[in-house]
Amino acid sequence: MPVITRFAPSPTGYLHIGGARTALFCWLFTKHHGGKFLLRIEDTDRARSTPESIETILDGMRWLGLDWDNKDSESLGYYSQYAHFKRHAEVARQMVANGVAYYCYATPEELDAMRSEQKVKGLPQRYDGRWRDRPASDAPQGIAPVIRLKAPQTGETTIRDVVMGTITVQNSQLDDMVLLRGDGTPTFMLAAAVDDHDMGITHVIRGEDHMTNTFRQAYIYKAMGWDVPVFAHMPLIHGPDGTKLSKRHGAPAVSDYRDRGYLPEAVNNYLLRLCWSHGDDEIIPMDKAIEWFDLDGVGKSPARFDFAKLGSVNAHYIKEKPDADLAALAAPFVARVMGRNLTPAQLDLLTRAMPDLKPRAQTLVQIAEMAAFYFHEGAFTLDDKAAKILTPEARQVLADLAAKMGGLSEFTTEAVENLFRAYAEEKGIKLGAVAQPLRVALSGSTVSPPIFGVAGLLGREESLRRMEAILRGA
């Protein structure tokens, strides 16, 4: 039987990083087994589902490179749960006809009273089955009934989970859940089970917070006589403090990581290592991930999200990225710092600066912050530390060297460095005493990439312009 998995987010907000990990595991498992990876948008909650949220999910999936196999076979480019609500209702009524579900005419007031009584008596708050065996002739007037599943009341149900192992619950712990509401709309439990069956899903891979849902949905499968898919529940991702990852830990959405300058291949690599391992391998390219990934490598314990580790992984992929490709990715971040887009000439400069920038960066944001001075126009506003470098002696050094730089037959990194070294030796001073004033003049800071390389990249005209601006005190 071919492997068919699905990723089924609800479009009520952003694509959570935990959901992205689930999508990645589904995608890799499917690719490893040569199957199909399907995308289903669970948009039955019409009040909360928005087109903007759907687009955010699709955009996040595309950014991560997690392409789905049903985008060309569906009119919307994905499987819409809402578009199949008539099918869900049809199954619920079929279950009534088969005697495995029933109409419940209990009023909201009646159910509230039932729960209050259960609370007073210290009983679990669950539906007590009061309409399970009553005829419709007993129904009060004007009540639109719900359809409830006739769940097994005795014995136990066992799920053999690929990751979590064998899990058993007593059937008495679960009640007759609602399948179809009084207004004819399906509940999540019914819609998800019907969709998984109709889509031919063989493996349901999702977070362990869905474990209770799995038992309820298994009842639906068995009641309809359908094959139950293989279940694999992933451990949750916790924040650095050991609690469930949330907004308070920062960057809960996939889009946050993109906007913070992480590369999608680094995010995928890091997410892959949250609860899955392959020996001691830390850096795992996607082709190797597809080759190696299987569910037997998933552990049972939650993983803690470590932003420092993600930064280290991202730094690796930044260093490996070709300079031109990295410059193209960094350009929008540089433009954000500058407040204007780069010209083709500036993009070329950024590309040529990459060998000096990328070894020192963990994110594209850091590259942009380090590179911004290359494109600075006008005079720099110096902080106190940089201003202290420009003593009268340092200014004289800059004036002397500006005159000499203007006479260089060729203006290259090597030529500038040789000039400065010769000057330092002639004056009997340390190289730093001549290099640091140049750094302040060219970058506006006491920290920059190798400063002679900076001069070579800026060129004679721009380097001299900046030095002269400093000397004028502008």
Supply the residues annotated as catalytic.
247
Distance between CA atoms of 55 and 11, rounded to whole angstroms?
9
| Token reading at 253 | 């959405």
Q: What type of residue sits at position 210?
A: H
Distance between CA atoms of 155 and 169, rounded to whole angstroms?
9
Distance between CA atoms of 210 and 300, rounded to whole angstroms?
15
Q: Residue 473: which region, alpha, beta or left (left: phi > 0; alpha: psi -120 to 50)?
A: left
- Nearest Cα residue to 4 out of 195, 281, 240: 195
| Token reading at 27 | 């995608």
Neighbours of 210 (CB within 10 A): 15
CA angle 98, 179, 137 (to 5 degrees): 60
- β pairing state of 165-170 and 156-161: antiparallel
Distance between CA atoms of 260 and 364, rounded to whole angstroms?
7
**What's the distance, Cα to Cα, between the start and end of the chain in Å?**
74
Half-sphere exposure in the Cβ direction for 188 (13 Å, CA): 14
Contact (Cβ atoms closer than 8 angstroms) between residue 230 and residue 202: yes
| Token reading at 176 | 């007759």
- Total H helices, total E strands in the chain: 18, 12
* Helix H or strand E encompassing 154: none
Which residues have CB under 8 Å from 457's CB, separation 6+? 349, 352, 353, 374, 413
CA-based torsion, 244, 245, 247, 248: positive or negative: positive
Distance between CA atoms of 328 and 347, rounded to whole angstroms?
8
Contact (Cβ atoms closer than 8 angstroms) between residue 271 and residue 235: no
Burial readout 72-93 (b: 16 or more C-beta within 10 A, e: otherwise) = eebeeebbbbbebbeebbebbe
467, with CB counted inside 10 A (0-12, 13-18, 19+), is buried
